[in-house]
Structure 1
């Protein structure tokens, strides 16, 4: 009753790990997508068939209600909420103080088997390709070009990328470009056209469309809310 009353008052309700069972029992997840620890997703789905259980994501945020996988994913969710409320720069500061990566997208896989040493027949890490791409976001980074840098065919590269990173190369690259745009909007007074060019989104129109789809607001509105350049 207390949870339902708080939700009716407009409180944001967040669960970590198996806390999703409490929210489900309160009816706050009815008709919604939610997640919990990967060992308990089947149990959650069986106990609460009205909940759409996402088995392989880190967290799900509906704005008023959010759920996460295990305890580590709970930290990711909390950083996501800080990022949404206070901006990516502040979230990055919090993450650095906790010695954590600044951002893991909620759609990232919540569980992966332990890595095995590279050797004959095993996949080499794509980390060097990711680092190379992050320094060249303004460039035309097609799957073919990324694959060529990795020394792989585009098809093999795309398959290996999903296996290691959890999303497609295009999805990963778009997220990095949106993150870079957020940072520039917060820290600089560059025109939106210049921000778009620097992060490889080609035009202000494309940036606005992609940004709104990912963040839920326009670049201009985001800058007014989180920008530092105008208040320094």
Structure 2
């Protein structure tokens, strides 16, 4: 049995960014806690962790809860750590804008061989720091179009909840952070210890990176061809592909695809795709301060004035009017 002086198998820096989401942070950390010791003693024996912040004090989450900083960059000996896990902020653009402040920390860690992990929107920060060049990235489906528009040369793997690409690891966030923690721990501590505590967390099993969310599995209610078409609509949001090309990718004719969409959604495939684009525009207006031109480009709509026209027809007000009714989405710093 290990003694208290035994060096841990894995040593982790947890770096929550301003306005980080508590769900992936708490899930990842609690999985570390269960693996770190025998039974449920919560001692940091088999793995250790420290909460890293730019300055002493605390970091506020998107829900308003503060997490206390345990270590600052001036106190770090990077040789003492194996992984640095960054937890993304609520707003992707604001997270990306943190690059000048965090670049030195991240590059120093990478230079000392520390593996960099970006969870949720933290991939925007690592990409802005030039640390994801030539790498594959898994991120939340809500942010795929925005990331592709901001970093077109970085490959996004849209069918994975997390992705290991050498010493760069990415995760879509949410409860997938638990699955990522299991996989990281399994590679270092063994699968038995990595799975320890899942039942206590009321988690049935560790999901693989390619696990398909049932909550997004619309094939159950719409059928295989329609479900596949809708998945393609999301992943090809900014493309110039036509509905005819979409039908060909699904493996059926355009007429057959329209019949299926009329039966399941009461509209043609083209009209449904337009609806997907408009809903994306609405969500981006709500969750970012990007220009309408940028958002239009993400949604595959080249003409901003045309976007304004169809947005008003669909939602009863222009994008500018819609935005004026919203509170500020950017965190106060």
Aligning the two structures, in what range does the TM-score lie when normalised by the shorter sequence?
0.3 to 0.5
The structure carrying a bigger helix percent of its residues is 1
Larger Rg: 2
TM-score by length of 1: 0.47
